[in-house]
Amino acid sequence: MNIPTTRSFYSFLLIIILSGACRNAPGNSTDVSDLEPVFHEHFGDKTYQLKWNKSRTYLLAISGIDKQHRKDLPQTLHFIVLKAKENSVVYEKHITDGKVQWYDDTKLKISGYQERVDGPEDKGNTFLYDVKEKRIIKYPIRTI
């Protein structure tokens, strides 16, 4: 084996080892099996969906009735947001006949009727919640 090939091999091996270390670092894991007790505590035996934010620092878990079973009944969504590094719940909400999704890396877009209103600015049908700042933000209205 010549010297350039050997260096290339060891460089390639080092890249593989380092990429595995980064993938398994705290907060970067895509394995959520250790969070099962948290999901069970909040959702019981109900099914749920998991959605990471872009930087994979927060995890949105949503539980509700499947749309095919919905028919004429309003759908109630129960969701929690977990901070990945700490595996702790930073936000929890129940929404009737609505939906929740990531708006950007730290904000959720939430629409629907809330079971509990946290404050006067919380009455609207659609709003943003900043999970990093832990506060509700008015939903930006587009003007033409």
Supply the pLDDT for residue 25. Answer: 40
Cα 53 vs. chain centroid, distance in angstroms?
5
Query: How do beta strands 76-83 and 88-102 pair?
Result: antiparallel
Q: Which two tokens stand for residue 98?
A: 């609505």
Predicted confidence (pLDDT) at residue 121 exceeds the cutoff of 60: no
Residues recorded for the chain: 144
SS3 content of the chain, % helix, strand, coil (to 5): 25, 35, 40
pTM as predicted:
0.68
Mind listing the pLDDT tens digit for each residue in 14-47?
566 655 444 434 444 557 888 889 999 999 989 9
Supply the pLDDT for residue 3. Answer: 54
Sign of the torsion formed by the C-alpha atoms of 127, 130, 136 and 138: negative
Supply the pLDDT for residue 64. Answer: 80
Mind listing the pLDDT tens digit for each residue in 49-63?
999 999 999 999 999
